[in-house]
Structure 1
Amino acid sequence: MTDALELDALWEDFHRVVNMTSQELAAWLRVRDADERAEPPPGDTGTPTGEHVLAILQKRRVDLTDDDVRVMYEVVDTVDAQAGRENGPEGEDTAGRRRLMTIGHDPLRP
């Protein structure tokens, strides 16, 4: 498991990049799943991670598992790597924005 200082920093980073509430993320995942049943995008496996992010948002820091910590690092790294790319004028409905929203980050929010 990660040491306490590292976990504190990760907790802060995770909540910085996950800028959707648990209610917003849950609603987005429901809508996204409904859309994907009609025509699933090839190779897109964001929903299991999104569900895990949702579960993490509903936990206290002391209740995190090693798997939660792994997903938190993955989400922070993904959002930090993608953040600047999705803010263009057409960002309203891009595939990149939808992918990031699947893990709880809406790039159109400040």
Structure 2
Amino acid sequence: MTKSTEGVDDVWNDFHSAVNMTATQIEKWLDTDESKDVGQKSSEGAESVGHHSGRKIVAILHKKKADLSHADIEWMRKVVGYVKRHSAQRPDGDIENTPWRYSLMNWGNDPLKK
């Protein structure tokens, strides 16, 4: 097993735990103004990092584990790390309509979802 495919089962499981939205739910979310308004952008009007990530996550969710590329596996690791870090920064109070939640949803995680 090469370095690039090492721990694929763990990454696969961690990714599918972190991403608790379906590909369809993410696609629908990415079409909203709220999704497009949050996140870090390289320039005014550019797509945010999280919104771009959401599109990549949708593509990965449509793949079988055996069809993952090295780049997919690396992106899955990045998603898991982001969701863990960002989740730890949960603000106090009602989070339903917050940029914090919207950012996580761009990365495939809805913190209100059971």
Q: Same fold per TM (> 0.5)?
A: yes
Question: Which letter maps to 1:26?
Answer: E
The runs of at least 4 aligned residues of structure 1 exceeding 6 Å deviation read none
Q: Does 1:99 align with 2:100?
A: no
Distance 1:79 1:94 in 2: 16
Q: Does 1:86 align with 2:90?
A: yes
User: Once superposed, what is the RMSD of the aligned Cα atoms?
Assistant: 2.1
Question: Which letter maps to 1:57?
Answer: L
Distance 1:41 1:104 in 2: 14
Residue 22 of structure 1 corresponds to 23
Aligned residues: 105
**Is 2:12–2:65's contact at 8 Å kept on the other side of the alignment?**
yes
Deviation at 1:58, TM superposition (A): 0.5
**Is 1:28–1:102's contact at 8 Å kept on the other side of the alignment?**
yes
* TM-score, reference length from structure 1: 0.84
Q: % of aligned pairs identical?
A: 32
**Cα distance, 1:15–1:42 mapped onto 2, change above 3 Å:** closer
Residue 55 of structure 2 corresponds to 51
Structure (1 or 2) with the greater helix fraction: 1
* TM-score, reference length from structure 2: 0.81
Unaligned runs of 5+ in 2: 42-47
